[in-house]
Structure 1
Amino acid sequence: MAMAMSSSSSSSSGVTERRGIPAAAFVEDVQTYLSQLGLDVNSSLSFLQERLQQYRLVEMKLLAQQRDLQAKIPDIEKCLDVVATLQAKKGTGGAVLADFEVSEGIYSRARIEDTDSVCLWLGANVMLEYSCEEATDLLQRNLENARASLEVLVTDLQFLRDQVTITQVTIARIYNWDVHQRRIRQVSAAKDS
């Protein structure tokens, strides 16, 4: 996620980066901007286009993480519901009938008698047995962490989208400034001849 930053005029928010995402500078005066960077129009446009591509790559990565978290949260909530159901049925003498996925699209029915523990799939071919209380605590912490991570991702995505917009506006301003400068030079050259 690291992107090289260059010196430029100050951004409107004063933030230089957010979690490794560099802030784009809002360019008010193109001439000053180009002078400060020591670049010509084509070099600065190339730099900004490259930066825009970097932003797009980071956005794709963050969107994938967001999708993963949005899929993970309902799974954690389902696990919490199952553990709560098992705890509620405990001591009543009634069994819980449950359908569980054996493989993708293949389900089996199970009859679950009173139980003091559950097995949680932790991923990477690891499953551990927890007491119902420990499982509830672990799942609750995982749910809180996933929701907090999702909030941070949403904020990062908004920041990133703002930087994309600022960069696109800067590209347009530099391009328009260059067109205007060329017209001035053409008019000046026509007057001199």
Structure 2
Amino acid sequence: MSDFLKTGKSNPRGIPQAPFIEKPEKVMKNPEEDFDQTLSAFQNRLQQYKFMEVSKRQQLEDLKIKIPDIEKNLNIIGHINDVKRKDEDDEKTIETNFELNDTLYTRAVVDASNLNSVYLWLGADVMLEYPIEEAVQLLEDRLKTNREQLQLVKEDLEFLKENITTMEVNTARLYNWDVERRRKSKKAEK
């Protein structure tokens, strides 16, 4: 029966497409022996789709946090560059508040004229210093990659939603077919 679940079709990221059962009797060769195994295979596939959906939703939430952070960093670096480009007579300092801890902030005055690099968190408690131009390029590349990834995750979620619905309908059809088959079998015995 599990061969019936193999449609040979999948989305571009390899998530298999769910088959649609129009007539459960065509799937069930020997209902007495195969029904439980077939129903179990359908339920397992449904659970796999739901697990993938949870994983993709987490990925979506992560991207929804990363993208604004990257945009904010690009805006800050842009502001630094704007201050650096001011006329010779203008003051090239930036007053800012920055976070020391979750609830503790302090003020700082930064001399932008001598600011040639920035520090970026790369993740896993790693921070590196980058020249401003390299930092902008790195952040723009990451922003582009994350936006593309966001689109792919949304497509995968839509694909999974459709396939979860298909598998739920398949499972219900299979179950209802078996109930009807058993009811007819009992009537025939009387």
TM tier relative to shorter chain: 0.7 to 0.9
Task: Give matches, 1:49-128, under 5 Å.
Answer: 49-92=43-86, 93-113=91-111, 114=113, 115-128=115-128
Give the alignment partner of residue 43 of structure 1, picking from 37, 40, 53.
Answer: 37
Q: 1:104 to 1:147 in 2, by over 3 A?
A: same
State whether residues 77 and 143 of structure 1, in contact with CA within 8 Å, keep that contact through their aligned partners in structure 2. Answer: yes
Q: 1:51 to 1:39 in 2, by over 3 A?
A: farther
In structure 1, give the amino acid aligned to 2:156: D
In structure 1, give the amino acid aligned to 2:62: D
* Residue 135 of structure 2 corresponds to residue 141 of structure 1: no
In structure 1, give the amino acid aligned to 2:41: F
**Which whole-Å CA distance do the structure 2 matches of 1:17 and 1:63 have between them?**
17
Q: 1:116 to 1:76 in 2, by over 3 A?
A: same
Q: 1:94 to 1:33 in 2, by over 3 A?
A: same
In structure 2, give the amino acid aligned to 1:47: A
Range with greater deviation from structure 2 (72-81 or 30-39): 30-39
State whether residues 118 and 132 of structure 1, in contact with CA within 8 Å, keep that contact through their aligned partners in structure 2. Answer: yes
**Equivalent residue, structure 1, for 2:4:** 8
**Which whole-Å CA distance do the structure 1 matches of 2:171 and 2:149 have between them?**
32
Q: 1:39 to 1:65 in 2, by over 3 A?
A: farther
5+ residue gaps, structure 1: none
State whether residues 7 and 37 of structure 1, in contact with CA within 8 Å, keep that contact through their aligned partners in structure 2. Answer: no
SS of the equivalent of 1:104 reads coil
**Which whole-Å CA distance do the structure 1 matches of 2:10 and 2:32 have between them?**
20
In structure 1, give the amino acid aligned to 2:22: E
In structure 1, give the amino acid aligned to 2:125: N
Range with greater deviation from structure 2 (165-174 or 95-104): 95-104
In structure 2, give the amino acid aligned to 1:65: Q
**Which whole-Å CA distance do the structure 2 matches of 1:186 and 1:19 have between them?**
47
State whether residues 100 and 108 of structure 1, in contact with CA within 8 Å, keep that contact through their aligned partners in structure 2. Answer: yes
Q: TM-score scaled by structure 1?
A: 0.86
How many residue pairs match? The answer is 184
Q: TM-score scaled by structure 2?
A: 0.87
Percent of residue pairs bearing the same amino acid type: 39
**Which whole-Å CA distance do the structure 1 matches of 2:134 and 2:181 have between them?**
70
**Which whole-Å CA distance do the structure 1 matches of 2:147 and 2:30 have between them?**
42
RMSD in angstroms over aligned alpha carbons? Answer: 2.3
State whether residues 95 and 110 of structure 2, in contact with CA within 8 Å, keep that contact through their aligned partners in structure 1. Answer: yes
